[in-house]
Amino acid sequence: MQALLDRQGDGALRPDEQPRLQELMRVYGRLMVHKAHAYLLLARRGYRVPMSSDRE
């Protein structure tokens, strides 16, 4: 996905690569929603969940 995003940013993404990038972005978005939901459930149950500032 990163390679396709880089190519898109450089203006070098071929038309046949665009559907693949869109599909990967869709899957990535779904994964992030699932991850956020899992963190929410863990936090509600009293577990410590990583925050974005913890990763720095």
- Identify the pLDDT of residue 3: 96
Contacts of 50 (CB under 8 A, 6+ apart): 39
In a domain, 55, yes or no: no
Please name which of 54, 51, 52, 49 lies closest in space to residue 38, comparing C-alpha atoms: 49
Structural domain harbouring 14: 2-49
Q: How many domains, in total, are found in the chain?
A: 1
- Identify the pLDDT of residue 16: 96
Report how far residue 22's alpha carbon sits from residue 41's, in angstroms, rounded to the nearest whole number: 29
In a domain, 8, yes or no: yes
Please name which of 42, 5, 37 lies closest in space to residue 21, comparing C-alpha atoms: 5
49 burial (CB, 10 Å; 0-12 / 13-18 / 19+) is middle
- Identify the pLDDT of residue 35: 95
In a domain, 33, yes or no: yes
Average confidence (pLDDT) per 10 residues, the chain, 56 residues: 96 96 98 96 94 58
pTM over 0.85: no
- Identify the pLDDT of residue 51: 81
In a domain, 19, yes or no: yes
In a domain, 56, yes or no: no
